[in-house]
């Protein structure tokens, strides 16, 4: 079976059950096709049970065909544990999914992100806070990740979409093609068109209560930090926050009135060590070290040739790799926001964010409150450099 045949990976996903043995099989054999060819003895040695082995031998033909039909549509993807494009942040969590179905741009799963979560029935103030934080994060080039649920989730997604070049990712507890609640079908479609909708469940999977706690681990794992805006003392948002902490990520909480029952979950998190935040800038500043780790993982993902060229960015911008010239020229002497850079270069926010992250790491640009500029000492443009050489 060809190594790039989605049938093999879809078959592994449909086997269900514990994911660790199937990840182990991919580690041992390299590709889904090789795993299926390895046979029953190898499957048992990795820890698959009888039901899983039977499912690998004879997958549900109807569900498999529905899955493959979905994958044939434009912008539909399936990223497996073996895939180099599998999100780096998710690999380091305690129970990473075997594979992710993505409706939209899978490259956005590598973008620095903050999860914004909270109550499904927020107060008016809580909703406004979610919108303000999400809008500021998106304007700063940070992806806003949430769960497409009613309330805080929807407010965060909508606010990110309202920003020019804003990125948002929805992690759902259904199939990637199913909106839950159903009233969010139009929002789901907008997110898929401008960002990405992500699920570990095969297309057509309906909402089940048991899916949402496991959905939350992916939500927390994709993000560099989790921001809880409003939450009762017993809520799914607190589960996401706990899972974020267990994955070594930052946890933030917005404080509220002592008379607001939806502030009690946030106050509990703060008492337990979560960062009390009053602005998106505080969140952005706190995730700096983790963003640096993600930048290093991105270097490795880009491949040795391109990474070597980027890591050798010179002190004279005239020798920048050609792909970086338009961005360098777009970076003026004054701080420039992401939306302006998108307009000036014609590049997407995702492309610009990856390039800016690497240029910042190499000391060519600085960023302050989501606005970028050339670092002092590197103000000579490629145009002026060329003119100087010709004189």
2 found inside a domain: yes
Whether residue 130 is found in the same domain as residue 245: yes
Name the 3-class secondary structure at 145.
strand
Q: How many whole angstroms separate alpha carbon 6 and alpha carbon 32?
A: 9
CB hemisphere CA count around 366 (13 angstroms)? 10
- CATH number of residue 194's parent domain: 3.40.50.450
63 found inside a domain: yes
Q: Among residues 288, 315, 343, which one ends one of the domains?
A: 288
Q: What residues make up the domain containing 171? A: 106-288
Q: Among residues 25, 52, 71, which one ends one of the domains?
A: 71
Q: Give residue-wise pLDDT tens across range 218-242.
A: 999 999 999 999 999 888 899 999 9
Backbone φ and ψ of 109, nearest 5° = -75, -10
pLDDT of residue 361: 65
Beta strands in 65-112 (DSSP E): 76-80, 99-104
Domain count, the chain: 3
Whether residue 280 is found in the same domain as residue 318: no
Torsion over CA: 289, 155, 218, 359 (sign): negative
Q: Give residue-wise pLDDT tens across range 21-75.
A: 999 999 999 999 999 999 999 999 999 999 999 999 999 999 999 999 999 999 9
| pTM listed for this prediction | 0.78
pLDDT of residue 30: 94
Strand partners, 374: 365
pLDDT of residue 298: 67
31 found inside a domain: yes
Whether residue 125 is found in the same domain as residue 179: yes
Q: Which of 254-263, 279-288, 345-354 has the highest mean pLDDT?
A: 254-263
Q: Give residue-wise pLDDT tens across range 287-329.
A: 877 776 677 676 666 653 344 333 333 333 444 677 777 888 8
Whether residue 360 is found in the same domain as residue 317: yes
pLDDT at 381 over 50: no
Q: Which of 104-113, 174-183, 355-364, 378-387 has the highest mean pLDDT?
A: 174-183
294 found inside a domain: no
Whether residue 183 is found in the same domain as residue 222: yes
């Amino acid at each position: 079976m060809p190594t790039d045949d989605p049938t093999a990976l879809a078959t592994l996903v449909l086997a269900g059950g514990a994911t660790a043995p199937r990840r182990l099989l991919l580690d041992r054999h390299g590709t889904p096709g090789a795993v299926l060819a390895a046979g029953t003895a190898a499957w048992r040695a990795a820890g698959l049970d009888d039901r899983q082995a039977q499912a690998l031998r004879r997958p549900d033909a109807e569900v498999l065909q529905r899955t493959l039909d979905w994958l044939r549509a434009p912008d539909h993807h399936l990223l497996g544990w073996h895939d180099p494009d599998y999100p780096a942040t998710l690999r380091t969590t305690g129970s990473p999914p075997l594979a992710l179905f993505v409706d939209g741009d899978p490259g956005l799963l590598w973008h620095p992100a903050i999860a914004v979560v909270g109550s499904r029935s927020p107060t008016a103030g809580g909703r406004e806070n979610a919108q303000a934080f999400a809008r500021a994060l998106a304007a700063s080039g940070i992806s806003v990740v949430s769960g497409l649920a009613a309330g805080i989730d929807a407010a965060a997604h909508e606010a990110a979409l309202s920003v020019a070049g804003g990125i948002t990712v929805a992690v759902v507890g259904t199939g990637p093609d199913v909106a839950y609640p159903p009233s969010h079908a139009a929002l789901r479609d907008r997110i898929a068109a401008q960002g990405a909708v992500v699920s570990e469940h095969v297309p057509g999977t309906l909402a089940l209560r048991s899916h949402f706690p496991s959905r939350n681990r992916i939500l927390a794992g994709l993000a560099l930090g989790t921001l809880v805006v409003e939450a009762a003392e017993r809520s799914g948002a607190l589960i996401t926050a706990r899972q974020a902490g267990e994955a070594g990520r930052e946890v933030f909480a917005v404080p509220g009135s002592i008379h607001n029952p939806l502030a009690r979950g946030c106050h509990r998190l703060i008492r337990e060590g979560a960062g009390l935040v009053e602005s998106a800038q505080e969140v952005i500043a706190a995730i700096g070290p983790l963003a640096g780790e993600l930048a290093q993982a991105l270097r490795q993902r880009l491949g040795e040739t391109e990474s070597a060229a980027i890591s050798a960015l010179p002190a004279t911008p005239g020798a920048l790799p050609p792909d970086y010239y338009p961005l360098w020229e777009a970076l003026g002497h004054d701080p420039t926001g992401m939306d302006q850079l998108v307009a000036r270069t014609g590049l997407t926010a995702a492309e610009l964010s990856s390039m800016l992250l690497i240029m910042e790491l190499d000391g060519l640009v600085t960023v302050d409150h989501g606005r970028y500029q050339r670092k002092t000492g590197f103000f000579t443009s490629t145009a002026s450099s060329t003119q100087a050489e010709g004189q």
